[in-house]
Each structure stands twice: as structure tokens, then as C-alpha cells.
Amino acid sequence: MNKGFKVIFMGTPAFAVPTLDLLSKSHHNVTLVVTQPDRPMGRGKKLTPPPVKQTANELGYDILQPETLRTDAISDQIKAYQPDVFVVVAFGHILTAKLLSIPKYGAINVHASLLPKYRGPSPIQWAIINGEKETGITTIHMDQGMDTGNILLSLKIPVYDDDTSSSLHDRLADLGAELLIRTLKLLGTKNLQPIPQNNSLSTYAPMLTKRDGHIDWSLPAEKIERCIRAMTPWPGVFTFHEEKRLKIFSSSVKKMDSAKPPGTVLEGSPNELTVSTGKHGLSILEIQSESGKKLAIKDFLRGYKIHPGDILK
């Protein structure tokens, strides 16, 4: 075992917290945590620290929250800590060449996909949307590209048929922490052989927006069901009934044929809501009206009337 590295940790959301927590329990020395500035959150727009800052405060670490990393002052401030290595997890900033040159052993990024697949900010959601049977964690030596650095280590896990973005996020966050510690153990030894990524195999996982949550009923039911699991809680999946917005939280596929146009509410029992899609039907299990709360479909239909033949858009 090496004597431990002086680490500057860079990360922002909840996904990065298990890695910071496990680092704090290791023999490595976290000298500084760099994270995004506090942002307005929720309906009250209350200024809220990111999850990594909250954890760093609890652990007693020095914290830096720059709006940008592209200033000499920030570079000098970071350089003064004389880090051996940067550990970067879902940070939200691109590191400049000047910053990348500071640590002796470079910058290690923990990414939630099997690179070069799903480079970009939303790899967990897109793996579910696209029906991947497996995904994983990759550690890379960072360069100036978007998740393009040489691969250090990777681990695969299955994507289950009932995985949501939340459940897969939590498993990958814990796995990422473990893989980072394994990577640091091998760093600087001949047992860690960086492998260039095959760019011809790369795919991109763009940031999801609220607009992406609007259901396209012409898609097959299986794809819509995966979108609902992937986009809950963010950005949320919705449709419109008579210009009223309905938010959908869970669903199941009904293997059936229908001549009705996609989006048509189909005949069924009083306690179910099945909608025609591009292929098969989609049974809505949990739903919420604009002014209501999330309800099981049977409870929702007691107070909100949707009739066979109605069109959801």
C-alpha cells in the first residue's frame, strides 16, 4: 500500500458524496474540496449548498466554491495545496490544461458508465431509456475532453428491469467510491495501465430537460415505460388530458394489439387506465394531477374522470 496521496476532491451532487465519504475513511489525505456555489432551490428559491459541500462541512474540510475555474487566482489557490492527485466526481466544470498540470499524478474522474459509451452528464438515465442490460463505473485519467481520457479501471453491473434512475444512481455511486479507492491503490504502479478509449465506439448522454419528459405516445410502450423509470424524479414525465397536465410516476406494459391511435385511452376496468401506444398498451400505475398529490391509479380515478376514447397528448 502506498503511503497515501494528498487529494483535492472536486464534486457537486449526491452522486459524489459516497466517494468523498470513503476517501475520508481511507489513508489518503483530502486537503481541499472544490464544489459548485450554493444555488437557489425549491419553490422558495432558498440558497442551498450542494450535497458535497454539506458532507465536506461535516468532515471538516477546507472548501472552495468558484463560479469559474478559468482564472489565475483560482489556479494559484489550488496549486498552493500541492496536491498529488485530483479526484473528480460529477463536478460540473471542465478542467483547464493549467489545472490538469498541477497534480503530480494528474486528475482521476469517476464516471457512471462503461466508457466510451455514454459520455456526458446523464449516463444513468440514458442507459435505462435505451434498454441497456448492463452499465457500470469507469475511472479515467482526465484530459481536456468530455470524458475522453484514458481508461484506468472499470466495473460492470446489471441494469434490472425495475431499475429507476434513483435506484441505479445509488448502486453506481457506491460502486464508484469503491473503484476510486482501488484506482488510487494502483496509481503510480506498473499494475495500472491506462488504455486509450476507442472513439469510434463512443456515444453521448446529453443533459435531460423538462421538455424531454413529455410523453410521445407513438413510441412503443416498452420505451415509454423505460422513460418513466429513467426520468423520475427528474425531469418528470407528463402528458396532457384536455389541456390539464398529468404527471406519471410508474407504469407497466400490456402486451396487446389496438387499432386506436397512440394516446387513446382504452376500454378497461374502472380501476385501471391503459393507453394505446406505437406498440402495445401502457398501463398507468401512479399519477398526479396539476393540483393534487401522487396517487395510485385506482384512487386517482375516483376523483378524476378519464373516459375510453379520450386522447392523451
| Mean pLDDT (the chain, rounded) | 96
The DSSP 8-state label assigned to residue 280 in this structure reads S
Class for the domain spanning 210-303: alpha beta
Average pLDDT over residues 8-17: 98
C-alpha cell at 202: 463512443
At 2 the pLDDT is: 63
Quote the percentage of the chain above a pLDDT of 90.
Answer: 91
Alpha-carbon distance 227 to 213, whole Å?
8
Alpha-carbon distance 172 to 25, whole Å?
19
At 239 the pLDDT is: 98
Note whether 137 and 172 are within 8 A (CB). yes
**Three-class secondary structure of residue 208 per DSSP:** coil
How does residue 1 score in pLDDT terms, banded at 50, 70 and 90?
very low
Note whether 262 and 218 are within 8 A (CB). yes
State which CATH number among 3.40.91.10, 3.40.50.170, 3.50.50.60, 3.90.420.10 fits the domain covering 6-201: 3.40.50.170
Alpha-carbon distance 289 to 240, whole Å?
10
Average pLDDT over residues 31-58: 94
Judged against a pLDDT cut of 70, whether residue 248 lies above it is answered with: yes
Alpha-carbon distance 128 to 164, whole Å?
8
Residue 34, amino acid: V
Tens digit of pLDDT for each residue in 254-294? 999 889 999 999 998 889 999 999 999 999 999 999 889 99
Query: What are the extents of the domains in the chain?
Result: 6-201, 210-303
CB contact set of 100 (below 8 Å; sequence gap of 6+): 86, 106, 107, 142, 143, 144
Residue 292, amino acid: G
**Three-class secondary structure of residue 124 per DSSP:** helix
Give the phi and the psi of residue 65 in degrees, each rounded to 5: -130, 70
How does residue 188 score in pLDDT terms, banded at 50, 70 and 90?
confident
Tens digit of pLDDT for each residue in 107-165? 999 999 999 999 999 999 999 999 999 999 999 999 999 999 999 999 999 999 999 99
- Phi-psi category of 309—alpha, beta or left, where left has phi over 0 and alpha has psi -120 to 50? left
Sequence length of the chain is 313
